[in-house]
Structure 1
Amino acid sequence: MFHPDEPSRYAIGPEAGALRDADIEQAANAAEGRARDAHYDAGFCTHGSAVAYRPDPHHPAQHGLQPGQVRCTAGCNTVFESDDAWTQACTDPYSDPIRRH
């Protein structure tokens, strides 16, 4: 049975829970996107791209890197000592905010 104030997509039986979960997840992703946009607009880097060390550099930002190092190419030019350190900075750019240049 459908209630007048309930969207029909939530009243379709077993799929209703999955649809609600997907809506909640999408809302959380949208909120995180808005937070990252605000962080970027405030002048901070979100570390969305990077290059890693190569013995034969193909990108100008790879020059000067040592084995294992990763350089952010999203605006701050920060050198991270490992891929894991860069991944952590991408995952949580708010805990140690770095200004874009």
Structure 2
Amino acid sequence: MPAPLKFAFLVALAAMAAPTLAADPVADNTPPAPTASTTNATGSETAAAASPNKLICRKQEQLGSRLRSNKVCMTQSEWAEQRRQDRMNVDRSQRNRWTQGN
């Protein structure tokens, strides 16, 4: 590696490490005390959590396009099931990644 490139690499590395080194080493790792706004859910959150049959519509980007999106409407329980299935698929693919031969 040429000397100027090596020097530029070290400068960039030092610039990225500076915020980490400047952090307080004796930082308090306890979470902040809960406030009224964090402990009490808003009315819409409470209503959404209480009603699994509430219809929720979300925009989902169309695969292969940055501009197109589709509006998908499902009940809250259907969205929860979709999230659960997606998570299971990710877990399964990560678990089986190394077992499928070369």
Which one has a larger percent helix, Structure 1 or Structure 2? 2
> TM-score scaled to structure 1, two decimals?
0.30
User: Which structure has the larger Rg?
Assistant: 2
Which one has a larger percent strand, Structure 1 or Structure 2? 2
Higher relative contact order (CA 8 A, sep 6+): 1
